[in-house]
Structure 1
Amino acid sequence: MNRPVVTWGASSPTERADATRNRQHLLATAREMLAELGADRLTMDALAERSGLGKGTVYRRFRTRAGIFQALLDDGERTLQEQVLAGPPPLGPGASPIERLIAYGQARVRFLVEHREIARAALDGRQPIPAGSQTSQTHIRMLLAGIDLGPADVALLAIQLTAALEGPLLLYMSATELSSTALQVEQRLARTWQDLVQRVCRP
């Protein structure tokens, strides 16, 4: 990718110092509550009370309960972005487009599984697409453009592949599948992503 990725919860370059401190305090408090109470009990009102900040501050920062979880995912998204932009191959530059596409999907799968509780809570039905998915779509489209796919509609194919790596994927999995250990779920999803890419990109 040729430019930095805009992530979900990153602060604006012009954000005031006090607003930045409030954001950092709110996210730290949200992480504490998530670890102690679980996702179901992390609400806007509870976060305001626990943080000692006003409800208005919390609502201005996150707008919705899902916004809290979207912001919590931001740090992990930034780490993945750095690996894609400048990390070692095959996730980073230096490998073939197919190798990078497989590695990217497997890294996204790992991220989703590791953050599955947060990723599910971050889904907001009022948004036309999951938050942050435009970033994945741009990267996947760039990689597909480097592969000889014949007359394929690369733009639409990128959208379809992106959808396979976003939070809603967890909603399509049954309770039985998700009850497996995280490593088993990750390994199964990683294998099927590789199989999907190799079939789609077959000459």
Structure 2
Amino acid sequence: MTRDEAMWTRVRRGTVGVALVSAGALVLAGCGGADEPGGEPSSSAAASEEAVAPAVESSCTDGVVVEWQGEPDTQEMYTSAQVIQVGDDGLTVRDDWQRGEEAGARHLSDADGAQQAVVSDAVAGGLLEADQVPRPADPAEALAGAEKGKYVLYDYAKHRTQTALVSCADGSTSVEVAWTGFEIVESGVANCAASPDPVADIIAADAITGFCVKG
């Protein structure tokens, strides 16, 4: 993790266990949320264990199931920040940072063709759905009518990871995956001159200020 990434991330500590997400094989991203948009996977764990996705790519006779392991690890972090200068000539982008990470499921180890097919069926069947990282705002739209000055457009979200065991309903062809999802907490615009830290109650006090100075 770089120094900038460390500044933009705060770990919520509690009874939540740490889910190890190693560099795995193909990322199989879902869309939507785990019960509702941005919902934690653990909140639907029981339902997911009982739910069965139809076998399309796999050879699972009775379909595919997902069993969540433990509780999700949750971090609150910035997922994007754009430093925009508003002047006589319009808008100038001084800095543009985005968190490059896909949501979805990732194999924790090498998976053979049969295991990959099982995970594909779980994703297609909605058992591993995940909200993607928030999309940055359009500066022209967000700063329409803004006075001259420097602004930071930001997205702040909950980043969740959790491991799960995906297998045929009869327990065969199992594979462990790491699940990643995002839940937007706040999107906004900070005026560097008037509001260096618009959400100081939930994030590091120097976060927005750092980008104002950097940009």
TM-score, normalised to structure 2's length?
Answer: 0.28
Relative CO higher for 1 or 2, CA cutoff 8 Å, sep ≥ 6?
2
Give the number of the structure whose residues are more often helix, by fraction. Answer: 1
From the two aligned structures, give the one with the greater strand fraction.
Answer: 2
